[in-house]
Amino acid sequence: PDGTVEIPVTVNVLYKGATQNISDAQIQSQIAALNADYNQLYSVPPIFDSLRASVGIHFALKSVVRKSTTKSSWSPNDAMKKSASGGIDATAPDSVLNIWVVGAMTGGVIGYAQFPGGAAATDGVVIAYDCFGTIGTATAPFNVGRTATHEIGHWLNLRHIWGDATCGDDLVADTPLHNAANFGCPAYPHLSTCTGTPVEMTMNYMDYTDDACMAMFTKGQKARMLTTFLPGGGRYNF
Ligand code: ARG
Ligand code: ZN
Ligand code: CA
């Protein structure tokens, strides 16, 4: 695609108690954070400057669906995506990115995503209400909206930067090898012991570092994401 891809978004809020019924303003803060992260370049260590990408994807809030629930914890098993299991059915998932915001998930999961090519009814991403947006219930260290930035990376076919294995492959050529996931806010430079002992790109959105310490997608990740919008790609309808 040329220029900017426009993604309509529906946010499905499943709340147990008024606190979890996040405000429209908090939802808008998440949309604003996504538009910033997918279009702006932030400061990174100079060795990564030339790899940073403005992805050129714009997110537009189309609707908000709210539903009160008695469930305080959801398994990351898609129950929240079906009214038959107490959730909210997806809105037009072939052409709308559905985001479900839930109170909590079992095992401390803060978000998960469906990769391209899965069933339409369960397509989209799920995020815990205290890791969503940048105001209201958003809580440090997940209060800069980057759980959604990361999950939507998966939704657009990106793998974790460590390839989910020791020195694994994320199928992107310009991201360095990482030993494993990084957490918190690693001091620079954090050296990998993988082949070539590269400096790990701990500020990449597809690592597991804190929101405030994430700052970039690479050009290779951008290309992989945009491929999903081409004929035969899993997001061609968008
Ligand atoms: N654990 C989640 C996943 O694997 C997301 C982690 C996001 N990290 C963050 N700093 N918000 O998809
Ligand atoms: Zn992930
Ligand atoms: Ca790589």
- In this structure, the dihedral spanned by the alpha carbons of residues 206, 25, 124 and 57, taken in order and rounded to 10 degrees, is -60
Q: Is the pLDDT of residue 127 over 80?
A: yes
CB under 5 Å of ion ligand 3: residues: 170, 172, 175
- Is a pLDDT exceeding 70 seen at residue 107? yes
Determine the Cα–Cα distance for residues 137 and 62; give it in Å rounded to an integer: 22
pLDDT tens-digit profile of 4-13? 899 999 999 9
Ligand 1, closest atom to CA 131? Answer: 11
Please report which ligand is nearest the Cα atom of 160: 2
Specify which residues 15 forms β-bridges with. Answer: 68
- In short, whether 115's Cβ falls inside 6 Å of ligand 1 is no
pLDDT at 84 over 80: yes
**Is-contact 188 176, C-beta < 8 A?**
no
Long-range contacts of 114-118 (CB under 8 A, 24+ apart): 114/154, 114/155, 115/154, 115/155, 115/157, 115/234, 116/155, 116/156, 116/157, 116/228, 116/233, 116/234, 116/235, 117/234
Q: What percent of the chain has pLDDT over 90?
A: 98
CA of 69 to the centre of ligand 3 (A): 41
| pLDDT over 60 (residue 1) | no
Pocket test for ligand 1, best of 202, 208, 211, 214 (most atoms within 8 A of CB): 208
Nearest Cα to 223, choosing from 151, 175, 179, 180?
175
Ligand 1 neighbour 151 (Cβ under 6 A): yes
Radius of gyration of the chain (CA): 17
Q: What's the pTM? A: 0.98
- Which amino acid, 161? I
pLDDT attached to residue 4: 85
Q: Which residues have a catalytic role annotated?
A: 151
CB 137 within 8 A of CB 26: yes
b/e per residue 198-222 (b: at least 16 CB within 10 A): bebbbbbbbbebbbebbbbbbbbbb
ipTM value for the complex: 0.95
CA distance 81 to 100: 7
Q: Which ligand has the minimum distance to the alpha carbon of residue 76?
A: 1
Residue 121 in contact with residue 82, Cβ under 8 Å?
Answer: yes
Could you tell me if the CB of 155 is within 6 A of ligand 1? no
Q: pLDDT, tens digit, for every residue of 161-217?
A: 999 999 999 999 999 999 999 999 999 999 999 999 999 999 999 999 999 999 999
How much is the pLDDT for 2?
A: 52
| Cis ω for the linkage preceding 141 (within 30 of 0) | yes
**Residue 53 banded pLDDT, cuts 50, 70, 90:** very high
Which residue among 147, 159, 203 is best mutated to probe the pocket of ligand 1, counting the most ligand atoms within 8 A of its Cβ? 147
**Rounded Cα distance, 31 and 33, in Å:** 5
Confidence bin at 3 (pLDDT 50/70/90)? low
Q: According to the model, what pLDDT value does residue 236 have?
A: 94
Q: How far is the CA of 17 from the centre of ligand 1 (A)?
A: 25
Ligand 3 centroid distance, CA of 196 (Å): 12
Which DSSP helix (H) or strand (E) runs through 61?
A: strand 57-68
Look over the chain and give the mean of its residue pLDDT values, rounded to a whole number. 97
Q: Residue 101's beta-bridge partner residues? A: 13, 127
pLDDT tens-digit readout, 19-49: 999 999 999 999 999 999 999 999 999 999 9
CA of 148 to the centre of ligand 1 (A): 8
